[in-house]
Structure 1
Amino acid sequence: MKNKEKLVVLIGPTAVGKTKLSIELAKKFNGEIISGDSMQVYKGMDIGTAKIKSNEMKGIPHHLIDIKEPEESFSVAEFQELVRMKISEINQRKKLPIIVGGTGLYIQSVIYDYQFSEAPSDEDFRRKLEKRVEIEGNEKLHLELQQIDFESAERIHPNNIRRVIRALEVYHCTGKTMSELQKNQHPELVYDASVIGLTMDREALYKRINMRVDIMLEEGLIFEVEKFYKRGLRNCQSIQAIGYKELYDYFDNRSTLAEAIEQLKQNSRRYAKRQLTWFRNKMTVNWYDMSKVDESTIFEKKLAEISAHIEGKLKIKSNT
C-alpha cells in the first residue's frame, strides 16, 4: 500500500453538489482537481457541461478541462492515460490529486487494474488476428470487438491493438467477454485511494437537476448550442452530450423549444439515475447523503465527516 500513489475520487450524479465540496476538500488537503467528466474536455461546451467557472475555482488548479476541440473524439483509453499521468505529476508536487466527476466507466478505468493474465490463450488465433491487422488495419478488428463486447471496446483504444487482440482471444478461448469476466473479478485499486460518493434523496436531486437546467438556460445555453449548430458540427462525440442533442432537435424543427427543454430535463434525470446505478454496481464507494446540503450547517458537517474519512484512509493531515 505504501508504494501506491495517493488519490481522492469524488463521484456522484449530476447536480448533487460535487463541485462545491471538491473545492473545499482541495483547500483542506492542498489538492489539485482532475475533471472526471467525459464532456468537460471540449472547448466552448461550458454551460451545457456545467463546467466550473474560473471565479469558482478559488485558485485551485483544475486539469483535463478544455483540452479538445469539439470535432475531436475522446476515448476511455486516452482519458485513462492522461489522468494517470496527472495523478503522478500532482503527487510528485507533494499535492493531493482529486478526481471529480460522474462518468463512471472513465473513472473506473483509471482507478482499477483488471487482470486477465490467467485467461487461456491461443497462439495460432492471435497470429491470425495479427496478420489481419497488417492487411485490414486496426479499425476493423476494433469494430469486431465492439460487436462482441461493447464495454471493453469503449475502454480500449483502436490503436492499442495488443489489448484489442487479447480481448478477442479471451472471448475465443472462454466464450465469455472480458466485461463478463470482470464481473467475477475483484480488481485491485491501482492507487492508495479514498473513493467518496455523494447521493441524495431522489425527489430533492430531481428538483436540483430541473433547477440547474433553468439556470443553464438563463446563462445562455441556447446561444452556446446554436454556435455549434451554425458551425455545422454533427455526428461527433461532443454533440451527443445531454443539453446539446436535445436543442439540435429544436434547431432542426423536430421539436418545439418547450419540448426540447422538457426532454433535456428528463434525460438529465435519467442520466443521474444511471450514474448512481453504475457507481453502486461497479465500484466500492463510501457514500454520503447530501439531501440537505443547501443548509450551511449540514454542508459543514458533511465536509468534516468526509475530511475525517480521507485523513484516516490516506493517513494524511488536513490544513485545518
Structure 2
Amino acid sequence: MKKTVIVIMGPTAVGKTRLSIDIAKQFNGEIISGDSMQVYKGMDIGTAKITEDEMQGVTHHMIDIKNPDEAFSVADFQYYVQKYIDEITSRGKLPIIAGGSGLYIQAALFDYNFSEQKRNDAFTTRLEQILDEDGAMALYQRLKDIDPEQAAKIHPNNHRRVIRALEVYETTGMTMTAYQQKQSKRSPYNLLLIGLDMERELLYKQINHRVDVMLENGLVEEVKYLYRQGFEDCQSMKAIGYKELIPYLKGEQQLKDSVELLKRNSRRYAKRQYTWFKNKMDITWYQVKPETINEKFSTIFADLAGLLKKK
C-alpha cells in the first residue's frame, strides 16, 4: 500500500498555511513544512514561519532544525520529508505538506536520485576561485552558456546553487535541466495535490500587504541581528526577505528602496512558483478570494473526503 500524502501548493501569500491547519484538524493530520527556509532557527518573520498559536495544536515538522550558518540542500530536504512521511504514517496520521518551492517538493515526492551527483573538490575549488577573482556574474554567465533553463531559475548571487549546477554538468556530462528531466515521473506515494490560486492583481496586493506586516513585526531587526552574527554570506541569507535588506544595513541603500525590491522579488517569486506548478505537476487547482475563502475551503474538504474514501 502506498502511503497517502496531501500536498498544498501555490504562490506565496495565497492561504496555504491556513488551509493546511484546517485539513489537519479535519482529517487527523500532521504538517510538514515544505518551505526550505523555515528549517532555520531565528529566521521567523522573513520566512512567514507559523507561530505556536497559529498551529492550533497541530503538530508541525521541518521547522527550526538548522542554524543559519548550516547548508540545506535539495537532497537534505528530500531526506527529511520522506523521513517525516514515514513517521507520521506509522502513527496512523495523515502527512500534509504545506508550501515550498517546486523543485524541492518534486524531488521529495518523486524520489529523485541524487547519488550520481558526486562532488569534485578540485573543480569546486576552481569555481570558487572564479567567484573570488571575477565575481558572481562571471560564474553565472558560465551556467547560462551551459544550461540557460536552469540559470533562469537561480539568482546570480545564489553562489551555492550556481556552483552545484556547474558541478552536475562537470561530473555527469548532463546539464541540471537534463538530469532533472531524467528523473522518475512516478511517485512512491499516493499523492493528493491541491493548488491554491488567486487573481494576479489581488495576489500581488496580498504579497505587498504581507511585506508591510513583516516590517511592522520587526523584519529589519531580525535581519540586522542575523547580519551582526556574521551570517551575511550564508546560504540562508540569500533568501527573499533577507538579501534585500542587507544593502540598507550597510548604508548602501535607502530602506524604502530595499522594501520596494523585496516586494518586487516576492511578486516575481510567486509568478515563478505558479508557472512551475502549472507546468510540472498534475495539481487540482482552486481559485480563492479573501471574501469567499471559507466557502472554497469547504469545497476542498468535501473533495478530499471523497478522494480519501477511495484510497
Distance across 2 between alignment mates of 1:217 and 1:115: 40
- Residue 16 of structure 1 is matched in structure 2 by 14
Offset at 1:284? 1.2
2:33–2:100: 8 Å Cα contact kept in structure 1?
no
* Runs of 5+ consecutive residues of structure 1 not aligned to the other structure: 117-125, 159-163
1:10–1:99: 8 Å Cα contact kept in structure 2?
yes
Offset at 1:253? 1.6
Residue identity opposite 1:244 in structure 2 = Y
1:10 is paired with a residue of what secondary structure? strand
1:7 aligns with 2:5: yes
- Residue 263 of structure 2 is matched in structure 1 by 265
CA 1:230–1:99 in 2, change beyond 3 Å: closer, same or farther? same
CA 1:316–1:210 in 2, change beyond 3 Å: closer, same or farther? same
My pick for the range that moved more, 105-114 or 4-13, is 105-114
2:30 is paired with a residue of what secondary structure? strand
1:23–1:57: 8 Å Cα contact kept in structure 2?
yes
- Residue 299 of structure 2 is matched in structure 1 by 305
Distance across 1 between alignment mates of 2:282 and 2:184: 10
2:78–2:111: 8 Å Cα contact kept in structure 1?
no
Pick one of 81, 84, 91 that aligns with 1:86: 84
1:112–1:190: 8 Å Cα contact kept in structure 2?
yes
CA 1:309–1:220 in 2, change beyond 3 Å: closer, same or farther? same
Distance across 2 between alignment mates of 1:77 and 1:306: 31
Alpha-carbon displacement from aligned partner over 1:107-128 (angstroms, at most 9, x marks no partner): 1101114589xxxxxxxxx9xx
Alpha-carbon displacement from aligned partner over 1:3-49 (angstroms, at most 9, x marks no partner): 11110000111100111111100000000000000100000000000
TM-score, L = length of structure 2: 0.81
1:34–1:98: 8 Å Cα contact kept in structure 2?
yes
Distance across 2 between alignment mates of 1:55 and 1:299: 21
Residue identity opposite 2:48 in structure 1 = A
- Residue 139 of structure 1 is matched in structure 2 by 121
Distance across 1 between alignment mates of 2:169 and 2:257: 46
1:188 is paired with a residue of what secondary structure? coil
1:50 is paired with a residue of what secondary structure? coil
Matches within 5 A, 1:5-44: 5-44=3-42
Offset at 1:242? 0.9
2:7 is paired with a residue of what secondary structure? strand
Pick one of 250, 259, 278 that aligns with 2:276: 278
Distance across 2 between alignment mates of 1:50 and 1:78: 21
Distance across 1 between alignment mates of 2:59 and 2:254: 40
1:113–1:187: 8 Å Cα contact kept in structure 2?
no
Distance across 2 between alignment mates of 1:138 and 1:168: 7
Alpha-carbon displacement from aligned partner over 1:133-156 (angstroms, at most 9, x marks no partner): 8xxx743467899966696xx9xx
Alpha-carbon displacement from aligned partner over 1:81-114 (angstroms, at most 9, x marks no partner): 1110100100010000000013111111011145
Residue identity opposite 1:70 in structure 2 = P
- Residue 164 of structure 2 is matched in structure 1 by none
Residue identity opposite 2:93 in structure 1 = K
Matches within 5 A, 1:134-283: 138-140=120-122, 168-169=171-172, 171=173, 177=175, 179-180=177-178, 182-183=180-181, 187-283=185-281
Distance across 2 between alignment mates of 1:11 and 1:142: 34
Alpha-carbon displacement from aligned partner over 1:155-195 (angstroms, at most 9, x marks no partner): xx99xxxxx899945x3xxxx54633654777002211101
Alpha-carbon displacement from aligned partner over 1:266-302 (angstroms, at most 9, x marks no partner): 1111111111111111111111111x2x22xx22321
The structure with the largest alpha-carbon Rg is 1
2:29–2:94: 8 Å Cα contact kept in structure 1?
yes
1:71 aligns with 2:69: yes
CA 1:243–1:166 in 2, change beyond 3 Å: closer, same or farther? closer
CA 1:199–1:232 in 2, change beyond 3 Å: closer, same or farther? same
1:167–1:178: 8 Å Cα contact kept in structure 2?
no
Distance across 2 between alignment mates of 1:186 and 1:76: 16
TM-score, L = length of structure 1: 0.79
* Runs of 5+ consecutive residues of structure 2 not aligned to the other structure: 128-141, 155-159, 162-166
